[in-house]
Amino acid sequence: MSPAVSTSSEATETAATGDVSSATASAAASAAAVAEASGPQTITMAKALNTAMADAMEADSSVLVFGEDVGRLGGVFRITDGLMATFGEQRCFDTPLAESGIVGMAVGMAMNGMRPVIEMQFDAFAYPAFEQIVSHVAKMHNRTRGTVKLPMVIRVPYAGGIGGVEHHCDSSESYYAHTAGLKVYTPATVADGYRMLREAIDSDDPVMFMEPKKLYWSKDQVDLDALRAEHAAHVSAGSSSEGRAAVARQGTDATLIAYGPSVPTALAAAAAAAEEGRSLEVIDVRSIVPFDDETVSASVRKTGRAVVIAEAHGFASVSSEIVARVQERCFHYLAAPIRRVTGFDVPYPAPKLEHYYLPSVDRILDAVDDLQWEN
């Protein structure tokens, strides 16, 4: 797997890009280079994603990784660290700086037998590729009546909370979720980083893989070998957790519905509420498209109250879609209108202002308090 690399020179290079805090990026890099021992170990989501790509490339020579700075540097977030060294420059390589070119070339490669896994350097820098994504990635299968499949993954580091400058913190998932023909995944846990990226790469349909960049450096105890075994079992059984939401925390009084970067915030809110004697269930949506109505509705029917949490602007967004779906399915079980805690409808703010914008534990608890609790 990915060899240990010296991180010092790379930290300098990252600093030179001016894109992200180099300290955090290099922390992720050193974490990504931790030992390979089997059994449970503490790793970052960065490492889980990196391992997922490495395992997929090992398993199938048609899996290719390319994008901007993903080769020698290993990506500005180091998610592709070591892949070029391990698999060669034909299978992991840097492209010219052209996002439409990256996506469009991936379409052609997928048409011709490859499974490209491509990286958009940042959420807002994927916009030049929007036409390719919407007009071709999403529509090719339908246009050709299923004769052309595009098994490709577009990885997008997204959302804020990292003190990033403008164009580095957009929550762009709603644009893609609104587009028929795209699957949209977003992991919130380290284990799901591995699990869901493997599933995305296995998918015969194109997947927008939205990686919450503030969770790249989140750590958890995971057993990579167990995850590998789980993946292998799913492949041989033709089953998986694909398209399913997860109950991240059990509860009885109200349901917090969150995804990606908002899941840890929702969990923190639920922990705080528990101290006040309120039992909140937390649903991690995981797959925005397809959406797991079953799991979400079951939870809301059980608790009778719901708050949807998302970093993206609330207007015409994934969060509004979730509220609409829950209302359509659970109206008679609801004790109160569904509340939302989302980003304000303003351009993503500058670093010193982002904490006003982001959904916070307090704002979530306030919304929960508003759910018309009698007595």
Partner 1 sequence: MTISADHKEQGLADARPDEMDENEQASEVRRKFGISVEDYMLPARHQIQMVDPSGALNPQGEQGAEPGHEYPIPGDTELMAAYEQLVVGRRVNDQNSALVRQGRMAVYPSSHGQEACQVAAALCLREGDWLFPTYRDAVAVMSRGVDPVEAMTIFRGDWHGGYDPAKHKVGIQCTPLTTQLLHAVGVAHAAKLRGEDTVVLAMCGDGATSEGDFHEALNFAAVFHLPVIFFVQNNKYAISVPLSHQSVAPSLAHKAVGYGMAGERVDGNDLVALLAVLDRAVKLAREGSGPLLVEAHTYRMQAHTNADDATRYREDSEVAAWMAKDPITRMTAYLGGRGLLDDEGSARIAAKAEGVATQLREGLGEEVPVDPQNLFRYVFSKPTPQLKEQSALLADELAREASSQKEAGK
The type of residue at 203 is S
Q: How far is the CB of 3 from partner 1 (least distance, A)?
A: 11
Q: Which residues pair with 93 in a beta bridge?
A: 66
Collapsing DSSP to helix, strand or coil, 241 comes out as: coil
For residue 221, list its beta bridge partners. 42
Q: Could you give the CA distance from residue 11 to residue 4 in angstroms, rounded to a whole number? A: 15
Chain-centre distance of CA 54, in angstroms?
Answer: 18
290 to 329: interface string for partner 1, x by CB under 8 A: xxxxx-----------------------------------
Alpha-carbon distance values, 324 to 232, 280, 289, 309, 320 (Å): 37, 21, 15, 14, 6
| Contact letters for partner 1, residues 99-118 (x by CB under 8 A) | -xx-xxxxxxxxxxxx----
Distance CA 219, CA 81 (A): 17
Least gap, CB of 294 to partner 1 (angstroms): 7
- Stretch of residues binding partner 1 (CB under 8 A), selected from 142-150, 167-175, 224-232, 358-366: 142-150
Is there a catalytic annotation at residue 141? no
Smallest distance, partner 1 to C-beta of residue 157, A: 22
Residue span binding partner 1 (CB under 8 A) among the ranges 41-49, 56-64, 221-229, 310-318:
56-64
21 vs 86 by CB, closer to partner 1: 86
* Listed residue (116, 285, 120) closest to 206, CA to CA: 116
| Using rule CB under 8 A, residue 243 touches partner 1 | yes
Residue holding tokens 């779906």? Answer: 325
| Cβ pair 322, 285 in contact under 8 A | yes
Q: Does position 125 bind partner 1 by CB under 8 A?
A: no
Q: Which of 8, 9, 38, 142 binds partner 1 (CB under 8 A)?
A: 142
239 binds partner 1 per the rule CB under 8 A: no
CA-nearest of 149, 95, 145 to 125 is 95
Give strand pairing partners of 254. Answer: 280
Query: Whole-number minimum distance, CB 206 to partner 1, in Å?
Result: 9
Active site residues: 168
Binding site for partner 1 (CB under 8 A): 61-62, 64, 72, 84-91, 95-96, 98, 100-101, 103-114, 128, 131-132, 135-136, 139-149, 180-181, 183, 204-205, 243, 289-294
